[in-house]
Amino acid sequence: MSTVTNPTSFQDDPEYAANLRRATLASSVGSALEYFDFALYGLMTALVFNRLFFNPDDPAIGLIGAFAVYGVGFVARPFGGFFFGTIGDRLGRKWVLVVTILLMGGASTAIGLLPTYDVVGAWAAVLLVVMRLLQGFGAGAEQAGATVLMAEYAPVRRRGFFSALPFIGIQAGTLLAAVVFSALSLMPEDAFLAWGWRLPFLSSFLLILIALFIRLRLRETPTFIELEKHEQVASHPFREIFSSGMPGVIAGIGLRMAENGGSYIFQNVSLAFVAGTFIANPVDRGIATWGVTLGSLIGIFSVPLTGAISDRVGRRPVYRFGAVFMLLFAFPAWWMLSLGNPVLTIAVIAIGLGVAVNSMLGPQCALLPEMFGNRHRYLGVAMAREISAVLAGGLAGVLGTWLLTLTDGNWVVMGLYLATLAAITTASTFLIPETRSRDLLRTEDALRLSTNEKDTGLVSVVVADGR
């Protein structure tokens, strides 16, 4: 596809700048809602749902069952990613994001209305599974859409920074969930278990209204408009991704193992470990949650910072730093968690999330969209994100609690588990080309560059992208 080599700065185009602001806000609110719901559900899983939606006579089975239901949401995500990703590549990014926010937010709100085990017995868990399936189906395309939307709107030389900005919403949503949960933990336990836990889920309805208002005013991305203009929109993006895009999908899955798996291990499994029966001196659940809060505060700065650094030094070096940091941190982190010291617990969780995880998330926001061609970018990003979400994040709770139960709370197995995820991601950073500044109008994937093309990461620039 031809490109324009006489770019105008996006700062000089008021319409472009306004749409860039709307895209940032639209993506941020959706990210905040998704991660508010998912972080909140994770916190409730470790400390509430196992007691309310399962037979209270068997706490160990209840904990594993609660995390299994948590994992069900991840199982649904790839199907949502496949379905909505295909639509996003055929019909555009904007309307998919409108539908997914309604589906995801509506299911989250409904969780706050569900009856518990004491009221309907085993049906409580069944209804929870249904809501998690719907929530996961919508979330399967939400983050992929936000990632693609911002990468396609962002100015090329600052794509890492701008693409990372909406993911402050991830930190804000996680932070909000942790603060809300900590505040609710101050309630008398009977009131908290009776009705207090429902309040944050019901409040998701307000975030849905805000997100809808913003997204309905958003214009389609410049790169998709270019595809339509040149009549190059893929009629079968699913077929294309399997014929030419699988190397990028597999590489993307590898890149996400430590970032996604590590995120849920530090947010959820660590809380179940330190606040449960696995250690001799359990840490109060409210105190342990402050580690998630502090980690999210750090992430508000570390995500855009590492995204901006990747604009200067490249995506791979920054991503590799985060993966290696987590690899080296894995065993010391779980040893310190096993001590039952509240200060160490908060510090470990905060560093694990704020530094290790978010040093990968920052450059990832631009890296994944840059790895795929324009005709199947939405679907490619969705598949890489959501298959990895099942393999890494979805299994983290079930496999982590099962390993801890099997070994009577031996912290070494969790250190090994986390280190394995980090090693996979570290290796994956050596298998991908540098994508910094790649032209997003290109239709071929970064991993399938022609042999006569130098992979310098420098390409011509396009007026439509504000470069």
What are 313-336's pLDDT values in tens digits? 999 999 999 999 999 999 999 999
Per-residue pLDDT averaged across 111-115, rounded?
88
pLDDT surpassing 70 at residue 232: no
In whole angstroms, what is the distance from residue 67 CA to residue 314 CA? 37
Residue 352 lies in a domain: yes
Could you give the number of structural domains in the chain?
A: 1
User: Does a structural domain hold residue 436?
Assistant: yes
Instruction: Give a yes or no: residue 144 inside a domain.
Output: yes
Identify which has the larger pLDDT, 297 or 426: 426
Residue 403 has pLDDT above 60, yes or no: yes
342 in any annotated domain? yes
Q: Which of 265, 258, 254, 268 is nearest to 421 (CA)?
A: 258
Residue 229 lies in a domain: no
Q: Is the pLDDT of residue 454 over 70?
A: no
> What phi and psi values does residue 93 have, to the nearest 5 degrees?
-80, -35
**Residues 17 and 10 sit within 8 Å (Cβ to Cβ):** yes
pLDDT of residue 5: 35
Residue 218, helix vs strand vs coil: coil
Residue 230 CA to residue 226 CA, distance in Å, equals: 6
pLDDT of residue 230: 59
CA-wise closest residue to 23 among 94, 83, 85, 78: 94
In a domain, 297, yes or no: yes
User: Is pLDDT at 7 greater than 70 in this prediction?
Assistant: no
For 277-291, write each residue's pLDDT tens digit.
Answer: 788 788 887 788 889
The 10s digit of each residue's pLDDT in 19-75 is 777 778 777 777 777 778 777 777 777 678 877 887 777 777 777 777 788 778 777
For residue 72, give its domain range.
Answer: 20-224+246-447
Q: Are 96 and 84 in contact (CB under 8 A)?
A: yes
Structure tokens at 98: 């409108």
Summarised one tens digit per residue, pLDDT across range 374-391 is 888 888 898 898 889 888
- Domain annotation covers residue 80: yes
**Between 94 and 228, whose confidence is greater?**
94
Rounded to 10 degrees, what is the CA torsion of 330, 332, 334, 338? 180
Res 235: pLDDT: 66
Integer Cα distance of 12 and 198 in angstroms = 47
Task: Report the CATH number that the domain containing residue 416 is assigned in CATH.
Answer: 1.20.1250.20
Tell me which range, 84-88, 263-267, 447-451, is most confidently predicted by mean pLDDT: 263-267
Model-level pTM?
Answer: 0.78
Question: Which phi and psi angles does 57 have, rounded to 5°?
Answer: -75, -15
Percent of the chain having pLDDT more than 90?
Answer: 26
Residue 348 has pLDDT above 70, yes or no: yes
Report if residue 117 sits inside a domain.
yes
- What percent of the chain clears pLDDT 70, i.e. is strictly above it? 90
What is the model's pLDDT at position 321?
Answer: 97
Convert the pLDDT of each residue in 144-188 to its tens digit: 888 888 888 888 888 999 888 887 877 788 778 878 877 887 888
pLDDT at 462: 38
